[in-house]
Structure 1
């Protein structure tokens, strides 16, 4: 892949103070792009961890006028928008507040697509999720096993918003000829993840339990398998997806499948703490497997994503030198 694809380009990254968006900002600046980060708040003090070249702008993505003015006010044409901003939460929140989550996410997606069309933005990336595969029929899950085959309903507002965002993107591509990319992500972790007490993410929540000397509780027997991808590797893969421009809808993940029990043990080892893990077979651990078919991804990337242990070791280093110190 030609990394000079981004040199001199003007990119906007929404959600740029989150786990994924912050790594996009870092990688794009390193590749020679000018990066603008619209954001609402910096509760986790991520901004000071990013390159000085990044241009932060306070903005509400639900206000289309604000986003339009941001794009119009750039020193040159905007070449790419990477939309990482999202409203989500733990599963109970996703089920209890489906209208709030669906409405918030769809308004921001609609505004991004409308503004990108209005200002002829060449590349638009809408970060999607493997959560769209509610009832897959194959393992590993191919891209075709999605809403085009069957559209299952769930009250989960996050699930609905990701499906409808993809449907809207497909409609914009068909009607307006826009170049919209839909990477469907596996579980992601790494530096600048949400390690705050309110986190709903599995890796940081296990970190917190281990460091507090508490038990990690795993629902089910722990044999359910998942894949996890280091955030910087995920961003490299998605940028490659745009550079190659072969697939507009693609699974992004790794081939390293681990059980949830193995994940907990690996986190304990990376932190250098004893294993204190308890399984609860009486409670559902979710689907037995959520492995993605990454055949298409492996066609376009020119690197091997780091292993879970390597990525966790690097996350621990960041946690101790940056997060814990702060």
Structure 2
């Protein structure tokens, strides 16, 4: 099948529409004029329940599916709850992918994660680096589940001829991010800690690790643009990277977040804590060859994220504290 524009009037299901990625994809589809968008909260439809997922697909038969639902978390959550991460994600993926194929979904996009590449993959990381080396131990359970999802996509394509694709985004941030103190990723974790430090006048903020690892960050609205672009222009079994092609050190990121928030205290790096993967920069040449490029710079994106935090998270935290 030659990739073509999505039918704006076909039923389109966004799984995980309340999460960081799903909410951005939903905003993008709404902005593009999609008229038959289908969503369900986890309370309305538990994607780990195979019978419930089957009944949902049998009743609604979406033409297009974006599978953005997943159990996600930062280094602490992944290290503490590995059984939950592999079990929940495997069940979500199997249930949704099999039901989509069974009930005639013509296009599906599955979200992987750049953390599933080998810990010491050559930089920038090409798509063919997948499964060529050992994983980062702090998130290996999550990574194995996501690798299984990618292979599931490829198996469905071979066996049933479906036009399903898998996308490998780099580290994401933006409106709708998870600000849970124990389960957040690096950017929301820094935003909330620097915000609190600025509010209370704390003399210093402690950052895990040495500050030397390098990371690439993509604003989630850019990923949402990429998802629609790939559904319309990409139809291959191999996963495809989505990122900016640029990275910063954790120290540089911390200094940038502190500046955006307005914190002027000292940054202290706790070298007893793990750094994780030394560097993780994606080779994005394949998606740029398809005509897509990110539009949001890191500082601009951080300011956008902080504004969302101040409007949606900080007032709630203040009311809880009082």
Question: Which SS does the other structure have where 1:39 is aligned?
Answer: coil
2:269 to 279, 298, 304: 279
Q: Distance in 2 between matches of 1:152 and 1:265?
A: 29
Q: Using the TM superposition, give the Cα deviation of residue 275 of structure 1 relative to its aligned residue in structure 2, in angstroms.
A: 4.2
Q: Distance in 2 between matches of 1:187 and 1:117?
A: 29
The question of 1:243 aligning with 2:232 is answered yes
- Aligned partner of 2:50 in structure 1 is 64
Which structure carries more relative contact order (alpha carbon 8 Å, separation 6+)? 2
The question of 1:315 aligning with 2:316 is answered no
Q: Comparing both structures, which one devotes a greater share of its residues to helix?
A: 2
Q: Using the TM superposition, give the Cα deviation of residue 65 of structure 1 relative to its aligned residue in structure 2, in angstroms.
A: 2.6
- Aligned partner of 1:184 in structure 2 is 168
TM-score, scaled relative to structure 1: 0.86
The question of 1:305 aligning with 2:307 is answered no
Q: Using the TM superposition, give the Cα deviation of residue 237 of structure 1 relative to its aligned residue in structure 2, in angstroms.
A: 0.9
Length, aligned pairs only: 306
- Aligned partner of 1:113 in structure 2 is 97
- Quick one: structure 1 residues 282 and 308, their matched pair in 2 at CA, closer, same or farther if it must change by over 3 Å? same
Which deviates further from its counterpart, 217-226 or 108-117? Answer: 217-226
- Quick one: structure 1 residues 88 and 175, their matched pair in 2 at CA, closer, same or farther if it must change by over 3 Å? same
Are 1:256 and 1:307, in contact at CA under 8 Å, matched by a contact in 2? no
Which deviates further from its counterpart, 281-290 or 90-99? Answer: 90-99
- Aligned partner of 1:295 in structure 2 is 285
Are 1:101 and 1:157, in contact at CA under 8 Å, matched by a contact in 2? yes
Which deviates further from its counterpart, 123-132 or 303-312? Answer: 303-312
Q: Distance in 1 between matches of 2:175 and 2:135?
A: 34
Cα deviation code 1:68-98 (max 9, x no counterpart): 3223333xx5111111111233434434433
The question of 1:13 aligning with 2:14 is answered yes
1:230 to 219, 223, 233: 219
Gaps of 5+ in 2: 317-322
Q: Distance in 1 between matches of 2:277 and 2:243?
A: 17
Gaps of 5+ in 1: 42-57
Cα RMSD (Å)? 2.3
The question of 1:37 aligning with 2:39 is answered yes
- Aligned partner of 1:23 in structure 2 is 24
Q: Using the TM superposition, give the Cα deviation of residue 111 of structure 1 relative to its aligned residue in structure 2, in angstroms.
A: 0.8
Are 2:17 and 2:26, in contact at CA under 8 Å, matched by a contact in 1? yes
Q: Distance in 2 between matches of 1:93 and 1:194?
A: 12
- Quick one: structure 1 residues 82 and 220, their matched pair in 2 at CA, closer, same or farther if it must change by over 3 Å? same
- Quick one: structure 1 residues 250 and 16, their matched pair in 2 at CA, closer, same or farther if it must change by over 3 Å? same
- Aligned partner of 2:87 in structure 1 is 103
- Aligned partner of 1:51 in structure 2 is none
Question: Which SS does the other structure have where 2:129 is aligned?
Answer: coil
Q: Using the TM superposition, give the Cα deviation of residue 283 of structure 1 relative to its aligned residue in structure 2, in angstroms.
A: 3.9
Which deviates further from its counterpart, 138-147 or 193-202? Answer: 193-202
Are 2:170 and 2:243, in contact at CA under 8 Å, matched by a contact in 1? yes
Are 1:10 and 1:35, in contact at CA under 8 Å, matched by a contact in 2? yes
Q: Using the TM superposition, give the Cα deviation of residue 11 of structure 1 relative to its aligned residue in structure 2, in angstroms.
A: 0.9
Are 1:210 and 1:276, in contact at CA under 8 Å, matched by a contact in 2? no
TM-score, scaled relative to structure 2: 0.87
- Quick one: structure 1 residues 120 and 322, their matched pair in 2 at CA, closer, same or farther if it must change by over 3 Å? same
Cα deviation code 1:223-271 (max 9, x no counterpart): 2110101010011012111110244411111122111011111111111
Are 2:174 and 2:301, in contact at CA under 8 Å, matched by a contact in 1? yes
- Quick one: structure 1 residues 266 and 240, their matched pair in 2 at CA, closer, same or farther if it must change by over 3 Å? same
Cα deviation code 1:104-151 (max 9, x no counterpart): 11111111111111111011111100111123431111000012x457
Which deviates further from its counterpart, 93-102 or 123-132? Answer: 93-102
Cα deviation code 1:131-179 (max 9, x no counterpart): 11123431111000012x4576958321111111112221111111122
- Quick one: structure 1 residues 27 and 3, their matched pair in 2 at CA, closer, same or farther if it must change by over 3 Å? farther
